[in-house]
Structure 1
Amino acid sequence: MRATPRVAVVSGGSSGIGWAFVETLLDEGYLVYACGRDAGRLARLKDAFPTAQVIPCDVTDRRSVRAFFRTIRNAHDRIDLLVSNAGGSREVDLARLDLCTDLTGEIRVNYEGAVNLIAESLPLLRAGAPSNLVIVGSGYGLVPSARVPLYSASKAALHSLAKTLHSTWASLAITVTEVCPPVVDTPSVQHRQVRKMPPHDVVAQALAGARRGKATVYPGKTRFLPLLNRLAPTLAERIVAKS
């Protein structure tokens, strides 16, 4: 029999999709560990959900990630669910770059940060097997947007990693599911006047897909992207590039 409560870890849990994951998993009875870099946001998360275990962690710093999981390991012998969600995006015009532009920020946070988190969590996920890893990607990881080109590139790398992990970790009884949402109603896109998907809807579909063992979940309008990208890739690129 599996010990209770189940243990879940959510990176980037203090805002947006991560916040919705924390709330949903607490409601489902998980013991939730959430991490993030912003102390103020973490404090607000703790105020909203006092039973959540909130720990500062910079996923781009391997030592910080290792210390985060050491804290969890000292309290528990396993992880049942890891949500790799921490990330960020910027609107960058590649035709108007200057020497001061940071061109690798999204790679460090969205891709390298996910790799750090996933690598350090593996022993605890193996101990909790059958367990689940949910990777929050993006529809822009399938087809890039000119508005957020560096974000798109980092999510494309993450999409490739997720596909590999889904196949290679199956033998470890760890289900790997990537969720590729459209534009989600989070603070980072408040300025955009477009239709946005509620974060709790993304979370519900991601968890349902993970529990069915799906490799990839396409919430909302991104469900059309794989087919459109196969049948009319040039059209797909034109549509998404302007989004």
Structure 2
Amino acid sequence: MKTTGNTIFIPGATSGIGFGLALRLHEAGNRVIVGGRRVELLEQIASDHPGMETIRIDTADAADVSSACADVQKRFPETNVLIAMAGIMRSEDLSDAGFLDTAVAEVETNILGPLRLVAAFAEFLAAQPDAVIMTVSSGLAFTPMAGTPTYSATKAAIHSFSDSLRLQLADKGVGVLELVPPAVQTDLMPGQAEADWAMPLDDFLDEVMSLLPSATREILVDRVKPLRFSAQEGNYDDLMAALAQQAG
């Protein structure tokens, strides 16, 4: 993926990895459109970072995605990169039937949200030069954390979907990249922003930006590789147990 001269739409970029990546891409010479649900955050981003564009979008709302994506394509017809960043992560106790409400919300945001975005943009991007769709899975797609079972499963679904999407769009001129983060110091989960078991955000972004120019499939920082390749390396069960102990 080229790292400058793009017009990039990033739904779910008002905080955390999404916001950090939006800033890095903006600084690298791209036009960046930040999407999010909270108007006050979007207004603050636009005020603090001249040149960055914003649009309100709720990826858990199908009608809102359709409307917002049509607006992006009308206002920014040169958009050639979509980064489907929005996601939520919650702890669940599967022995309590109450987990289902949490699971439904995660599936709505983490799976249906990206699918809606792809549906809205795939045909549009096929007409653009240097077009790329970037999905966001997780190291937990490959080695799940028992305390966040639905989150891990949704990210496994995104990984599988990304592989199929890449093949289907190969002859359309649209590249498909999958960003696979480890735990990063953000507010995704309570206490994670200060946790020593999470990768510092700036370190993660530095490595991602260095990998982007040569990326053609998965974007893997070194810290996520033990999770990504645990099955191949024969320590899947040990890592799952370690993750469960960490969460506890």
What TM-score do the two structures reach when normalised by structure 1? Answer: 0.88
Cα deviation for residue 139 of structure 1 reads 0.6
Question: What secondary structure, in the 3-state scheme, does the structure 2 residue paired with 1:46 have?
Answer: helix
- Give matches, 1:200-211, under 5 Å: 200-211=202-213
Show the counterpart of 2:93. 93
Q: Flag structure 1 segments of 5+ consecutive residues without an equivalent.
A: none
In structure 2, relative to structure 1, the CA distance for the partners of 1:168 and 1:200 (3 Å cut) is: farther
Count of paired positions:
240
Structure 1 stretch displaced more, 165-174 or 190-199: 190-199
Cα deviation for residue 20 of structure 1 reads 0.9
Quote the Cα distance in structure 2 between the aligned partners of 1:221 and 1:130.
29
Quote the Cα distance in structure 1 between the aligned partners of 2:226 and 2:100.
38
For 2:151, the aligned partner's letter is Y
For 1:197, the aligned partner's letter is M
For 1:184, the aligned partner's letter is V
Show the counterpart of 2:241. 238
Quote the Cα distance in structure 1 between the aligned partners of 2:22 and 2:99.
39
Show the counterpart of 2:161. 161
Quote the Cα distance in structure 1 between the aligned partners of 2:220 and 2:245.
20
In structure 2, relative to structure 1, the CA distance for the partners of 1:35 and 1:90 (3 Å cut) is: same
In structure 2, relative to structure 1, the CA distance for the partners of 1:51 and 1:101 (3 Å cut) is: same
The Cα offsets for residues 150-179 of structure 1, whole Å up to 9 and x where unpaired, read as 111111111111111122212112111111
The Cα offsets for residues 169-213 of structure 1, whole Å up to 9 and x where unpaired, read as 121121111111111111233514332223344344445544324
Show the counterpart of 2:174. 174
In structure 2, relative to structure 1, the CA distance for the partners of 1:69 and 1:101 (3 Å cut) is: closer
Show the counterpart of 2:19. 19
The Cα offsets for residues 7-37 of structure 1, whole Å up to 9 and x where unpaired, read as 1100111000111121111112211111111
Structure 1 stretch displaced more, 57-66 or 222-231: 222-231
Show the counterpart of 2:200. 198
In structure 2, relative to structure 1, the CA distance for the partners of 1:169 and 1:209 (3 Å cut) is: farther
Show the counterpart of 1:227. 229
Alpha carbons 2:42, 2:54 under 8 Å: kept:
yes
Alpha carbons 2:142, 2:230 under 8 Å: kept:
no
Quote the Cα distance in structure 1 between the aligned partners of 2:43 and 2:129.
31
Quote the Cα distance in structure 1 between the aligned partners of 2:206 and 2:145.
25
Question: What secondary structure, in the 3-state scheme, does the structure 2 residue paired with 1:59 have?
Answer: coil
In structure 2, relative to structure 1, the CA distance for the partners of 1:188 and 1:225 (3 Å cut) is: closer
Structure 1 stretch displaced more, 78-87 or 11-20: 78-87
In structure 2, relative to structure 1, the CA distance for the partners of 1:99 and 1:61 (3 Å cut) is: closer
Quote the Cα distance in structure 2 between the aligned partners of 1:206 and 1:127.
27
Structure 1 stretch displaced more, 215-224 or 136-145: 215-224
Percent identity among equivalent residues? 24
Show the counterpart of 1:128. 128
Cα deviation for residue 54 of structure 1 reads 1.0
Cα deviation for residue 140 of structure 1 reads 0.7
Alpha carbons 2:89, 2:189 under 8 Å: kept:
no
For 2:104, the aligned partner's letter is T
Show the counterpart of 1:214. 216
Alpha carbons 1:186, 1:199 under 8 Å: kept:
yes
Show the counterpart of 1:137. 137
Alpha carbons 2:146, 2:240 under 8 Å: kept:
no
